[in-house]
Amino acid sequence: MIKIANRIGVVGGGSWATAIVKVLQHHQKKVNWFIRRQDVIDAISNSGHNPEYLSQVELNPAMISASNNLDEVISNSDIVIFCIPAAFLHRQIETLDKKLLQDKIIISAIKGVIPEFNAIVSRYFNTVFDVPAENYGVIAGPTHAEEVVMDKLSYLTAASVNDDIGAVLIELLGTRNIKISVSSDVIGIEYASVLKNIYAVAAGISVGLGYGDNFLSVLTTNAIVEMRRFLDAINHCKRDVNNTSYCGDIIVTSYSQFSRNRMFGNLIGKGYSVNYSRIEMKQVAEGYYASKCMTEINEQYKVDMPIMNAVYNICYNNVSPSQEMRRLAEKLK
């Protein structure tokens, strides 16, 4: 059993990292926090607020050791929670000595594919940093950082092949308002987290184009089935895609006004170019990158994925969104 008194590191300075630090503070945990920008570190140390993300959240600077020295943060931690957009993770940590991660518990709070490797996060840490499966866990689920810090009741899934890691995550992040279920389906949950961002882009495009509620629900149910088809093809195991961490994640991302991916799709549907829509979004729309990576990953599996193909064609092949969605609509049921 892992001791949860262990030293905890958080890597990343965005909304989700900020929310996680807030929850850890709720449990009176000290946090080694890697943040890239010195001005953000200074602001947090001085004011207890992250000026860039969730700036309303009050943090206790006395319980935070913030640093832009990644080696130091990791060396001083036994459990390291990574919260960096997948698109930037490798650039951020590629020079890290893999020995630093030896015998650490690596937790990914990342949703996405590492584009340089076309790999989900578990595979990336495993192949590039030799992190064994039993040292690795994922925290996933249809959660908004915004809601977590507003103390809205939220449900997360902690996935690991190591039951101890699930138990640790429940103790570290579970609260009266954060319910955590455990799962051993790391690969399925990671791919689901990637795919749902693509489906949220599709949802946004359909809404932007003026499709209605009925179409959106049909798109969403077809997305659930498409995801199940892919997961069964890459890793057939007993999983119920109607559990929250698969299906719930698709629903909340496709329907929520907080979803960056849906907003991104919405701009495209409304007629803005893909490039303009990318620039317009302050935060990264993971689904944009994911549609490319997953299309490439799927080349070896050849699973029928019409929704993903439509997003990819619109984002990367300069295909007209209205024509592509109409073509897609003919394949849905």
243: contact with a second copy by CB under 8 A? yes
Q: What are phi and psi of 155, to 5 degrees?
A: -120, 130
Give the H or E element holding residue 144: none
Nearer residue to a second copy within complex by CB, 135 or 154: 154
144: contact with a second copy by CB under 8 A? yes
Residue 81: what residue type? Answer: I
Among 241, 281, 303, 319, binds a second copy (CB under 8 A): 241
Q: What mask of x and - would describe binding to a second copy in positions 167 to 206, judged by CB under 8 A? A: ------------x-x-------------------------
332: contact with a second copy by CB under 8 A? yes
Q: In angstroms, rounded to a whole number, what is the distance separating the alpha carbons of residues 4 and 30? A: 12
160: contact with a second copy by CB under 8 A? no
239: contact with a second copy by CB under 8 A? no
Among 95, 214, 275, 300, binds a second copy (CB under 8 A): 214
Nearest to 104 by CA among 61, 158, 162: 162
Sheet bearing 79-82, strands edge to edge: 64-67, 31-34, 8-11, 79-82, 105-108, 136-140, 154-159, 178-183
For the chain, strand residue ranges (E) read 8-11, 31-34, 64-67, 79-82, 105-108, 113-114, 119-120, 136-140, 154-159, 178-183
Give the tokens for residue 106: 């690596």
Nearer residue to a second copy within complex by CB, 243 or 261: 243
Nearer residue to a second copy within complex by CB, 143 or 291: 143
Nearer residue to a second copy within complex by CB, 229 or 292: 229
Residue 258: what residue type? Answer: F
252: contact with a second copy by CB under 8 A? yes
Among 62, 225, 237, 279, binds a second copy (CB under 8 A): 225
Residue 175 carries which DSSP code? B
Among 192, 202, 224, 285, binds a second copy (CB under 8 A): 224
Positions touching a second copy (CB under 8 A) are 141-144, 147, 150, 152-155, 179, 181, 210-218, 220-222, 224-225, 228, 240-244, 247-249, 251-252, 255-256, 258, 329, 332-333
